[in-house]
């Protein structure tokens, strides 16, 4: 079946760049998404990329898509303590298939 | 523009009981999807409603059922609650005609089954 995998934890220093990686299996995904979840809260859509794009930049966020390898990454430039959260990658053919989430910890 | 709202925020039930969770979709959205998020896991798709009809279902038993109303708000009903049903239940709304599937999530309902 369809699957999305992410590494579970990432720790960075404030001001550094963070890179969160994701692999997915559903080659029919039209869009791929990155969501952020803070403790006790719902999911906030950060950005998405259409499957025929290689890269999308949105302020501090850069999404890279390697469709051949089914690999998606999210780079957060100048990471701040407020970026500490769980980040989910999701593939979509109508319903969202989420990864397990990567917990990003930003140390001052 | 009002975002997605869910009620109640928290709920405690005992095994075997039934529960109804509610979701109001964002203005202009005709599609509602429900997800179950167990502790430490990513959300799992339960089902989706588009213009009052079920439009896809994940790997959940029939005791999970839903409704969508003419104003596009939605309910998730779970019968015969089990301990493993304890989770955060998330509702997401989207414009099903846009093709982008951009889903906006509510804050969730935390269900605890004792």
In the predicted model, what is the mean pLDDT of residues A54-72? 95
Question: Helix, strand or coil for residue B32?
Answer: strand
Question: What's the pLDDT score for residue B105?
Answer: 92
Q: Residue B101: what pLDDT?
A: 65
Mean pLDDT of chain B: 92
Residue with tokens 């095994």: B15
- Going by the DSSP 8-state scheme, the letter that residue B9 receives in this structure is S
How do beta strands A102-107 and A9-13 pair?
A: parallel
Q: Does position B106 have pLDDT exceeding 70, yes or no? A: yes
For residues B11 and B7, give the distance between their C-alpha atoms in angstroms, rounded to a whole number. 9
- Looking at residue A28, its pLDDT comes to 81
Question: Mean pLDDT over residues B11-33, rounded?
Answer: 95
Tens-digit pLDDT profile for residues A32-43: 999 999 988 889
Q: Using a CB cutoff of 8 Å and minimum separation of 24, what contacts does B54-61 make?
A: B55/A94, B55/B31, B55/B96, B56/A94, B56/A95, B58/A95, B60/B36
A4, B42: Cβ pair inside 8 Å? yes
- The answer on pLDDT for B46 being more than 60 is yes
Distance in angstroms (rounded) separating the CA atoms of residues B64 and B81: 10
Residue B103: per-residue pLDDT: 85
Nearest CA in chain B to A101: B42
Nearest CB to B33: which of A42, A95, A101? A95
Q: Which positions in chain B have a beta carbon within 8 angstroms of at least one beta carbon in chain A?
A: 4, 33, 35, 40-45, 48, 55-56, 58, 90, 92, 99-108
Q: State the Cα–Cα distance between residues B2 and A99, nearest whole angstrom.
A: 28
Show which of residues 56-85 on chain A sit within 8 Å of chain B, judged by CB atoms: none
pLDDT higher than 90, residue B1: no
């Amino acid at each position: 079946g369809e699957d999305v995998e992410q590494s579970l934890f990432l720790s960075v220093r404030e001001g550094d760049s963070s890179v969160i990686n994701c692999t997915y299996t559903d080659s029919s995904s039209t869009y791929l998404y990155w969501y952020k979840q803070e403790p006790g809260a719902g999911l906030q859509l950060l950005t998405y990329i259409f499957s025929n794009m290689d890269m999308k930049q949105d302020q501090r966020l850069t999404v890279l898509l390697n469709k051949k390898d089914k690999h998606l990454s999210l780079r957060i430039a100048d990471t701040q303590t407020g970026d500490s959260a769980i980040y989910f990658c999701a593939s979509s053919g109508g319903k969202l298939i989420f990864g397990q989430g990567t917990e990003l910890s930003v140390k001052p | 523009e009002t975002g997605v709202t869910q009620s109640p925020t928290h709920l405690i039930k005992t095994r075997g009981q039934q529960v109804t969770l509610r979701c109001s979709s964002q203005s202009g959205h005709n599609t509602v999807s429900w997800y179950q998020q167990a502790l430490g896991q990513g959300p799992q798709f339960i089902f989706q409603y588009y213009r009052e009809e079920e439009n896809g279902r994940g790997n959940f038993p029939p005791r999970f059922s839903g409704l969508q109303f003419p104003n596009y708000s939605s309910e998730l009903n779970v019968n015969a609650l089990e301990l493993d049903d304890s989770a955060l239940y998330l509702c997401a709304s989207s414009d099903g005609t846009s093709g982008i599937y951009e889903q906006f999530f509510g804050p969730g309902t935390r269900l605890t089954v004792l």
